[in-house]
Amino acid sequence: MQESKNRATLRELYMKRWSVSGVSCLLAGILATAPAAFGQAVSQISGNVKDQAGAVLPGVEITATRTDTGLVRTTVSNETGNYVLPNLPLGPYKLEAALAGFRTFVQTGIFLQVDSSPVVNPVLEVGQITEQVEVEANATLVETRRSAVGSIIENQRIVELPLNGRNVTDLITLAGSAVSLPAVRQALFLNLYPISVGGQAFYGTDYTLDGAYHRNYLTGTYMPIAFPDAVQEFKVESSGQSAERGSGSSVSVVTKSGTNDVHGDLFYFLRNDGLGSAREYFATKASTYKRNQFGGTVGGPIIGNRLFYFAGFQDSIRRENPGNSISTVPTPAMMAGDWTSFASAPCNLGTARVLRAPFMNNQISPSLYAAPSVYITNKLLDALKQDGITPDPCGRITYNTPSDEDDRQYVGKVDYQISTKQSAFVRLLATQQKVPRSFDLDPNLLNWTNTGLDQLANSIAIGDTYLVSANLVHSFRLAFNRTAHRYVPNLAFSYCTAGVKMWCDENPRTIGTMSISGGFTMGSTSARGEHWTGTSYAVNDDLNWVHGTHLIALGGGAWQGRVAEFTHFASTGQLNFNGSVTGLGMADFFLGNLNTLFQGLPNSNATHQNSVNLYFTDAWKATPRLTLNYGLRWEPFLPQTVTNGQISVFDMDRFLKGVKSTIFVNAPAGFYFPGDPGFPGKSATYSRWKQFDPRVGFAWDPTGAGKTSIRAAYSFGYAYVPGITREDQAGSNPWGGRTTITSPPGGLADPWLGYPGGNPFPYTVQKNMTFTPRGQFITTPYDLPTPNTYTWNVSLQRQFGPNWIATASYLGSRVMHLYMNVPINYAVLVNGPIVTTGCAATAINCNAIANTDARRVLSLVNPAEGQYVGNMDKWDPSGTQRYAGMTLNVERKASRGMSMNANWTWSHCTGYFQGYNTKTDQTVTVVNNPLFDRGDCDTDRRHVVNVSGVAQVPRFNNNTLRLIVTGWQLAGIYRFASGTPLAIQDGTDRELNGINHQRPNLVLPDQGYTGKSCAGCPYLNLAAFAPQPLGTVGNLGWNSIVGPRFWGLDMALSRNFQTREKQSLQIRVDAFNVTNSFVPSVPSTANPISNAVPAFVNVSNNMFGQILAAQPTRKLQFALKYAF
C-alpha cells in the first residue's frame, strides 16, 4: 500500500517539478555531463518508539519542528517501531511522538549538526494524547548508524577560537588526521593551503558548501570558505564514506541562514604588532605588521516561517614589512677579486672552500668577470644601499620583505519554505584579493619574485528539497564556481639590458628566476598578461527513501571543469649557477659559467573535463542494535580534453622505426599529435567506463542503550587530478618551445652561442616549423588510469555522562596510480673517464656535466633525431601511497558554557610523491629502480596532537560577583606535530644523468642531527652528509630526514556585556604563541617557481641545515564585537 503510494507520488513529483528537475537535466545535457552526487548539508533523526513495558509501538506520528524557522516534518513509526526523518536542515529541533491512548512525548534541546545521525527513542506513557511528557535534552552523542569516521567543528569553536587571520580552513587540521601542505602553486589564492585528509592525496578530498560542489577545479583543492561569523559548522570525514561521495575523504561546510528572529553581529579585529607583540626572531627591527579586519552579518525573516535572508561582509587590510629574510650576496671584497673571507671556514659551517684551478689562493681577477654578472650585482647592491643594507664579510644580509594585502568577502543567502513539502535556497560567496607588487613598496631586487596579485573567486549554489511523502525525500543541488587569477609583475630590467644575448622582446623589463647555489635567488617566472581561470559547473539529484528498516539513497550527478591560462613561465628565461666549474656557485656566476639556461615561448593551457556518476546506498537496520551500510557507485573516467590540442605522445617503437608525424612534419621521430592516425581525440588518454566503487560497513550498538558503538567500513573511490595538471605539457615543444641548454660555451654573456641554428626564439608554430634542439617534452600513456583510493577503518565510541564522548579509531588507506614523472631521455654513462673539465659538449667518449645532452638515450640511439629531444618525462601511474593511523579523541559537547575537543593521531604514511605537480621536477632519480625514491610521504607526521576548547564563567546570582566575573570567556588551541620530512639534495648533477634533486651520501647514519634547535644553530650535521662520487647514486633515503617538531599555544580572552535583551558587546584579546616560545621552522623543500634547491636542504650551500627561520613570536590581536 505504502509502496503504491510512493510510486504515485513519484509520478506526481516529476510531473509537477519539471520546472526544476527538467531544467537541471537539460542543463546537464548542455554541459555534456550527466548527474555528481555530493553529501547534503543536512542531518537526520531516527529512533525506535516503545511503551513503558518495552513493547514496540507502530503507527506513532513523529513530528520534528525546527524551532527557529517553524519548519515541520512528520513521519510514522513502522511495524517495528522504527522511524527515520532524513534530510533535515541543521539547527535546533523539538521532536514530538503522539499515539491515541498515550501521552504525547516531547523532547526539546535537540540540535542537528552537519551529516550527523542522532537517535531519539521516545518512550510513551499510557494516558490522554492531550497530556504531554516533556524532556529537555540533546539526542544521544554516539554515532550508531553511519560507518564513516569524522569530526565536527561546531559554531562555538569556529567563532570563539583564536584564528590568526580568521581563516576557517585552519580549523580543518583540528580533526587530527588532516595535515596541511606547504603553500605551493596548488593554492593560487593566498592562505589556501593544500590539505591531506586521512593519508589522501591533496586533491583526493571532496569539498562541499551547503551540500553543493565546492572544489577549485584549477588547483584540485577547495574554493575560499566564508569567514567565521558566516559559517554555521563543518565536518571532516577521513575514512569510510558512503557511495554518495566519490573521494576517500571529505569536508562539508554549512553557511548560516536567516531565522524568524533578526540576528547578526558587527566586528572589528585589530592586530598591530606595535601594541604588545614580541619582536620576530632574526629580525633587524621591530615588526611593522598591521591588520584590520572588520565587517558584519545580518539574518532574519522576509516573510515569517516562509522566506529568510542572511548576508555577511568582511574586509581585511594587511600591511607589513618584516626584516627577517636572510640571503647571501656579493661583498665589496668579492667584487675586487678577493674571495678569501667568503670561502673561509667561519663562513661555510666550519669547512673552508677552495676555488678550483686555475685560481690560486681564492683570488679571481675582476677582469675575468662577466659583464652581465657585474651589471646585475651592481643593480642589486645599489638597491640594498637604498635600504641601508650592507653585507658582512660572509656576504650575509638580513633584509625586509614588504607585503600588503587587501581581501574582501561577501556572503548572501536566501531560504524559502515554499510549502510544507518543498523548500529551496540560493547562496552566493564572493572573495576578492589584491596584493601590490613588491617593487611598489621597496626597491630591493631580492623581492622580485613577490609579484602583485589580483584575484577573484565566485561560488553560487542553488538547492531544492521536496518531501514526496513522509518516507521519500527528493533533493537537488546546482553549483557554479569560478576563480580568476592575474599576476602583476615587478618591472626593472631584463637580461638583455644586463648584456645577455637572448630573446627579451616579450618581457623587456623583467628577468626570469636566477638561482645561485650558496648565493642569492632573484627574478620571477611571472610577466605581463599572465592569468589563470578555473571554472566548474556541477549538478546532483538525490532521493532518500525510508522503506521498512532500510534508508535507501540513490541519485547521480555531474560536473564539468574548465581551465584557461596564459603564462610566461619560460619566456623570461631561468638561469642556474651551481658551482660545477669553480666549486662555488657565486664564483661561477661572476665568471659567467652558466650551468643551465631554460627558456621558451609564452604558452596557453586550455582544458576541460567532464565527470558523471550514479550511486546507490542503503543503511539497513538489520536488528535494533546493528545497522549495515553498503552501496555502489559508478563513476567512469572521462579524461581531460586539451581544447587547443597542445598535447603529444611519444612511442619508442615509432622512434626506432623513424616514423614521423603528419601534423608537424619536422617533429622528431616517434611523436604523435592530435590529428595523427590513432591519436585519441585531444585527450591523449582513453576513457574508462567500467569504474565501480563498492562501499560496505556496519555500526553496532552492543548494549542497545545508544551509549556505545563499534563501527567499521571499507570504501573504494577515485581522485581526479587538478585541471592545471597538463600545463607543463602545453609548454612543451612545439607550442611552448621550452628548451634547456647545459653549460653553454658562450656562458652567461652569449648562452645561445654554438646552438644549432642560433637563438631559436621567437618562432611561429606551424606545420612545417623546425623544432628546437634539446626541446622539452612530456608524454602520457594512452591507457592512463584514474588515481584511486582504498580506505578502511574500525572505531569504538563511548558516551560518558550527558556531554562527554570518547572515540578510538584505526584508519588505513592506500592510494594507487599516483602520477609520477619518469625520465625517458636521461643521460647515461658512456665508455670513458668521468671528469669535471675537458669534456666537449658533443663528446661521447667521456662523462661530464658539459656533455649531458650528447649522452642522452635518444641521442645515442639516433643522433640525427635525438638531437631535438632534451629533457623528456612520461607520466607513470605506478605511484602509490599507504597510510596507517590511530586516532584517540575525547570531546565534551557544549554544555554549561564549556566545550572541548582533544585528539592524538599516531600515524605513518609512505609512498613516492604526494601527487603530480606538487614538486617542480617530480621525477624519479634512479630510472631503473623506482623503489629508491620511496619513503615517507611529504604529509607524514608521526604524532599530531590537537586540543581546543571554550570555557565561560557561569552567571552568578550575587550582584557583586555577577558584575566582576560573569561574562568572561577563555578559548584556546594547542597544537603539536612531529617534524616535516626533508628532501636533502646535492644541489648539482652528481649522477651525471641530467636529473635534478639527487640525494647525497649519508656517511654518519647516527649523527645526522646535532640535537640543537636554537636560533642560528646547525640543526643538521654537515659532516654526516657528503656528495657522492660523480657518476654514482647517493645512499640517503628519500624523506628520511625530518625537520624540527612544531608546537603552538594560542589563547583568546574575552568578556561579554549584556547590553539589552538578545544584544551583547564582546571585548576580546587573542594571543598567538602566547608563551612566546622559540619554535624553529625550515623552508619548503619544493620551490614552486624554479629548480632552485633551498639552502637548508642543499649540502653544497653554506647555510645548509642552519636554523635561520622560526615560527612567529607572540602576537596580540584585539577585537570588539556587537551581537544581536
Read off the pLDDT of residues 690-707 as tens digits, 9 standing for 90 and up: 999 999 999 999 999 899
In a domain, residue 826? The reply is: no
| Distance from the first to the final alpha carbon of the chain | 50
Q: Which domain holds residue 39?
A: 31-136
> CB 491: neighbour CB atoms within 10 A?
15
Which parts of 197-353 fold into alpha helices (H)?
332-335
Let me know how long the chain is: 1124
Q: What is the pLDDT of residue 623?
A: 94
Angstrom distance (rounded) from CA 445 to CA 436: 15
Q: What is the pLDDT of residue 130?
A: 76
Q: What is the pLDDT of residue 20?
A: 36
In a domain, residue 125? The reply is: yes
Q: What is the pLDDT of residue 921?
A: 53
Phi, psi of 854 (to 5 degrees): -65, -25
Which of 313, 1085, 342, 203 lies closest to 722, judged by CA?
203
Q: What is the pLDDT of residue 1090?
A: 43
Confidence band, pLDDT 50/70/90 cuts, at residue 183: low
Query: What tens digit of pLDDT does each residue of 491-549 get?
Result: 999 999 999 999 998 888 999 999 998 999 999 988 888 899 999 999 999 999 999 99
Average pLDDT over residues 371-383: 97
Confidence band, pLDDT 50/70/90 cuts, at residue 4: very low
Tell me the three state secondary structure of residue 716.
Answer: strand
Phi, psi of 410 (to 5 degrees): -125, 135
In a domain, residue 56? The reply is: yes
Query: What tens digit of pLDDT does each residue of 673-694 get?
Result: 999 999 999 999 999 999 999 9
Which of 579, 610, 611, 617 lies closest to 595, judged by CA?
579
In a domain, residue 71? The reply is: yes
Angstrom distance (rounded) from CA 461 to CA 471: 26
- Assess contact for 800 and 782: CB atoms under 8 A: no
Confidence band, pLDDT 50/70/90 cuts, at residue 1084: low
Whether the per-residue pLDDT at 1048 is higher than 60: the answer is yes
Q: Any bridge partners for residue 1064, and if so which?
A: 1058, 1123
Whether the per-residue pLDDT at 276 is higher than 60: the answer is yes
Q: What is the CATH number of the domain that holds 76?
A: 2.60.40.1120
Angstrom distance (rounded) from CA 369 to CA 502: 19
Within 8 A by CB and 6+ apart from 959, the residues are none
Amino acid at 213: Y
> CB 768: neighbour CB atoms within 10 A?
7
Angstrom distance (rounded) from CA 699 to CA 627: 5
Q: What is the pLDDT of residue 396?
A: 94
Q: What is the pLDDT of residue 328?
A: 94
DSSP assignments along 624-684, one per residue: TTEEEEEEEEE--B---EETT----EE-HHHHHHT---SSSTTSPTTEE-TTSTT--TTTS
In a domain, residue 830? The reply is: no
Confidence band, pLDDT 50/70/90 cuts, at residue 926: confident
Confidence band, pLDDT 50/70/90 cuts, at residue 1083: low
Q: What is the pLDDT of residue 350?
A: 87
Q: Give kind and range of the element (H or E) at residue 890.
A: strand 869-895
Whether the per-residue pLDDT at 3 is higher than 60: the answer is no
Whether the per-residue pLDDT at 1006 is higher than 70: the answer is yes
Angstrom distance (rounded) from CA 55 to CA 1113: 63
Strands, DSSP E only, in 276-421?
A: 290-303, 307-320, 325-328, 396-399, 403-417
**Total domains present in the chain:** 1
Average pLDDT over residues 198-215: 92
Q: Do β-strands 550-567 and 61-66 pair in parallel, antiparallel, or remain unpaired?
A: unpaired
Query: What tens digit of pLDDT does each residue of 54-95 get?
Result: 899 999 999 999 999 989 999 999 988 999 999 899 889 999
CA distances for 50 relative to 59, 145, 1078, angstroms: 11, 19, 60
Q: What is the pLDDT of residue 964?
A: 82
In a domain, residue 578? The reply is: no
Q: Do β-strands 514-516 and 574-577 pair in parallel, antiparallel, or remain unpaired?
A: parallel
Local structure of residue 755 (DSSP, 8 states): S
In a domain, residue 251? The reply is: no
Query: What tens digit of pLDDT does each residue of 937-987 get?
Result: 988 999 999 999 999 988 777 777 778 888 899 999 999 999 999 889 888
In a domain, residue 721? The reply is: no
Angstrom distance (rounded) from CA 368 to CA 363: 11
